[in-house]
Amino acid sequence: MALSVVSGLLDAQGFLNAAQIWREGNPSWKRILFSALGFGGGISIHFITLKYLDRMGVQSAEVQSLLWFGITIIGVAIVSRDFLGWNLREQIIGVAVLIGLAWIMVQTAK
């Protein structure tokens, strides 16, 4: 599980940096590099994580993806701190959507 968290947080860094690549009008090579490192590290660790998920009996691509997606989106929200700026209704809906996605993935992965 710790590997999943590390993978998701690295991917979250990749997404956060990617979102800022064009902020100045021209590409930021620093942001491109940090984004690539985040994504590269995240997917590399995800491949290792899959080995342990498989051994635990989690062989469904949907459930494996859900774990990655959930950690990544939570990582983006926490690291960016944007989630804290949402009003309570938006926060509740965001969490409900994430729970809904989890429910659908788990139910269809049977």
- Give residue 81's pLDDT: 84
- Give residue 62's pLDDT: 80
How many folded domains does the chain comprise?
Answer: 1
Q: Is the pTM of this model over 0.95?
A: no
**What's the rounded mean pLDDT across residues 47-64?**
87
SS3 track for the chain: CHHHHHHHHHHHHHHHHHCCCCCCCCCCHHHHHHHHHHHHHHHHHHHHHHHHHHHCCCCCHHHHHHHHHHHHHHHHHHHHCHHHHCCHHHHHHHHHHHHHHHHHHHHHCC
Structural domain harbouring 48? 2-108
Kindly report the average pLDDT of the chain as a whole number.
88
pLDDT at residue 25 above 90?
yes
**Higher model confidence: residue 59 or residue 25?**
25
